[in-house]
Structure 1
Amino acid sequence: MGDHMLKAMSIADRVVSLAEDSLSGLDRVIGAWPAEFRAIVWDAVADIATRRAAAARDRS
Structure 2
Amino acid sequence: MWNVSNVVDFAMARIVAWGIWKVIVVITNLPLAHLVTLGLVIALMCILVKVAQDAFKR
1: CA distance, partners of 2:47 / 2:34? 20
Runs of 4+ in 1 over 6 A off after TM superposition: none
Aligned mates of 1:48, 1:55 — CA distance in 2: 10
Residue 45 of structure 1 aligns to which amino acid in structure 2? I
Report 1:1-60 matches (<5 A): 22=17, 23-60=20-57
Unaligned runs of 5+ in 1: 1-17
TM-score normalised by the chain length of structure 1: 0.52
The TM-score, its normalising length taken from structure 2, stands at 0.53
Match of 2:8? none
In structure 1, C-alpha distance between the alignment counterparts of 2:39 and 2:28, rounded to whole Å:
11
Instruction: Tell me how far 1:59 sits from its aligned partner.
Output: 1.7
**Larger of the two Rg values belongs to structure:** 1
Q: Among the aligned pairs, what percent are the same residue?
A: 12
Aligned length: 41
How much is the aligned-residue C-alpha RMSD, in angstroms?
A: 2.0
SS at match of 1:25: helix
Equivalent-residue separation in structure 1 for 2:31 and 2:49 (angstroms): 27
